Amino acid sequence: MELVNLKVASDTASFSQAVKRGLGQEQGLYFPTSVPTLANIDDVLAMPFVERSIHVLKALIGDELGDGTLESIVKDAFTFPAPVVSVSDNVATLELFHGPTLAFKDFGGRFMAQCLSRISNGEPITILTATSGDTGAAVAHAFHGIENINVVILFPKGKISQLQEKLFTTLGDNIHTVAIESDFDACQAMVKQAFDDPDVREGLHLNSANSINISRLLAQVCYYFEAVSQLSDTQRKELVVSVPSGNFGNLTAGMIAKAMGLPIKRFVAATNLNDTVPRYLKTGEWAPNQTVATMSNAMDVSQPNNWPRIEALIERGFLDKACLRGECVDEDYTQIAMRQLAQQGYTSEPHAAIAYRAVSHDLAEGEYGLFLGTAHPAKFRETVENVLGQPLSLPQPLVDCSSKESQAVTLPASYDALKAHMFSVLK
Ligand SMILES: Cc1ncc(COP(=O)(O)O)c(C=O)c1O
């Protein structure tokens, strides 16, 4: 596979190089120079999930990882299902929250962890990241127990929910968690300082494993194939997929799947009030506003960092712009959508509810809508309970970790203290 930096055309990379580097020169995103079209899509769709995912990823990545490597990566990463669940006659949801941290990030995170562990060839790596909740859990679980890779996760002490904290601080082993006596911005500033400090960057072989990594995106392509495989022929013919979007990684993956030949008629980019993209699609003007806080907080993004990849898919002729529409859903309609779903017997959280509202609003006669369920409702328990007015029970992974002891150490917001701690536990 050849990838090119969308900012610096002379900066190219193989898949392995792009996975290790994350971002390219001048913070540019890596993008495939070509997108293969799959032959015999119906046969591909008839395969089991893991086998089909290997087939799809082989078409994209090629043979560069060597015999059997991609196969074992996929088998180790994709160990949980992604079921399509019908919510009405013409709308269904793709539930992406059956992994260890109950969110779609488990697919990309686990695939990236398995790729890095194979690609690093036993060289030690330290993943350093700051979290305000969700990312920490996905990264911790994805890398837990992987040899030669240590993970250090900083989080603001007392500022994330107990349950969310337990999800990543109770693992131990190669997962080192640090509660910083400050806020999330201080945690992020300390991570940045570590990447700027050659002692730490080179001494501990730092890697950010951030969400822009190409391996995450390619992993996400696979669950769009899995979704369509569960639909009937009629549903496949008129399929509209609605994606709850913040940084637009999920939508980019879906559009790559379509470019590979997956039968998706069009997409709806569903956002909350941070609606830079829906406005851009309507007016042609890129005019980000100040980011506003909403109940779908993982989508509170006004400058989506994957957007250049979507533009590239269109500008380079892999897809027609007409296959993408945007819909902004405000706070009232988010709640209405959650209640409508509940009346139909389906409990959802704000992110998926936005995608549901957007597709219900947008669907034409005869079309079939599918919206992505990106997180388990229990991950947004308080909001869901408030909106629906009824208690929500916890799924097993949350019950299991809630009784375990946190192994996090507490440090002041001092870079020197963090550096000393890292060298003492990692060297
Ligand atoms: C629950 C949930 N839904 C949707 C999104 C948006 O995904 P993307 O950033 O790929 O657009 C996120 C992002 O973190 C999320 O956590």
CATH of the domain at 380: 3.40.50.1100
Cα of 270 from ligand 1 centre, angstroms: 11
Structure confidence at residue 228 (pLDDT): 98
Strands of 12-14's sheet in order across: 12-14, 2-5, 30-32
Inside any domain, residue 337: yes
State the DSSP H helix or E strand holding residue 268, giving kind and residue range, or none if neither: strand 266-271
Cα of 214 from ligand 1 centre, angstroms: 16
Inside any domain, residue 379: yes
Inside any domain, residue 32: no
Structure confidence at residue 160 (pLDDT): 86
Domain boundaries, position 339:
81-103+214-388
How far apart are the C-alpha atoms of 192 and 129, rounded to whole Å? 9
> What's 179's DSSP letter?
E
SS3 assignment, position 239? strand
375 lines ligand 1 (CB under 6 A): yes
How many percent of the chain have pLDDT more than 70? Answer: 100
134 lines ligand 1 (CB under 6 A): yes
Structure confidence at residue 27 (pLDDT): 85
Cα of 275 from ligand 1 centre, angstroms: 14
Which atom of ligand 1 approaches the CA of 103 most closely?
Answer: 1
Structure confidence at residue 169 (pLDDT): 96
Query: Ligand 1, atom 12: nearest CA belongs to which residue?
Result: 298
As a whole number, mean pLDDT of residues 116-135 equals 88
**Is the model's pLDDT at 398 over the cut of 90?**
no
As a whole number, mean pLDDT of residues 325-336 equals 98
**Is the model's pLDDT at 307 over the cut of 90?**
yes
**Is the model's pLDDT at 359 over the cut of 90?**
yes
Structure confidence at residue 327 (pLDDT): 98
Q: How many domains does the chain have?
A: 1
Inside any domain, residue 283: yes
Structure confidence at residue 13 (pLDDT): 97
Structure confidence at residue 163 (pLDDT): 82
Inside any domain, residue 338: yes
Place 317 in a pLDDT band, splitting at 50, 70 and 90: very high
How far lies 45's CA from each of 30, 206, 221, in Å?
28, 39, 13
Inside any domain, residue 44: no
Does residue 335 contact residue 276 with C-beta atoms inside 8 Å? no
- The torsion angles phi and psi of 197, rounded to 5 degrees, stand at -100, 105
* pLDDT tens string 147-189: 999 999 999 999 888 888 999 999 999 999 999 999 988 998 9
**Is the model's pLDDT at 122 over the cut of 90?**
no
Inside any domain, residue 179: no
Phi-psi region of 66 (alpha: psi -120 to 50; beta: other; left: phi over 0): left
Structure confidence at residue 185 (pLDDT): 86
Which atom of ligand 1 approaches the CA of 134 most closely?
Answer: 16
Place 83 in a pLDDT band, splitting at 50, 70 and 90: very high
Which atom of ligand 1 approaches the CA of 352 most closely?
Answer: 3
As a whole number, mean pLDDT of residues 40-62 equals 98
Place 132 in a pLDDT band, splitting at 50, 70 and 90: confident
Query: Ligand 1, atom 16: nearest CA belongs to which residue?
Result: 298
How far lies 190's CA from each of 205, 209, 266, 410, in Å?
16, 16, 42, 14
User: For 23-145, where are the alpha helices, taking DSSP H only?
Assistant: 41-45, 49-61, 69-77, 105-119, 134-143
Does residue 354 contact residue 271 with C-beta atoms inside 8 Å? yes
Query: Ligand 1, atom 13: nearest CA belongs to which residue?
Result: 298
Q: What is the pTM of this model?
A: 0.94
How far apart are the C-alpha atoms of 294 and 350, rounded to whole Å? 9
Other Cβ atoms less than 10 A from the Cβ of 262: the count is: 24
How far apart are the C-alpha atoms of 411 and 153, rounded to whole Å? 12
Beta carbons within 8 Å of 27's beta carbon, 6+ residues apart:
7
298 lines ligand 1 (CB under 6 A): yes
Other Cβ atoms less than 10 A from the Cβ of 186: the count is: 18
**Is the model's pLDDT at 44 over the cut of 80?**
yes
As a whole number, mean pLDDT of residues 52-78 equals 97
Inside any domain, residue 38: no
* Mean pLDDT of all residues belonging to the chain: 95
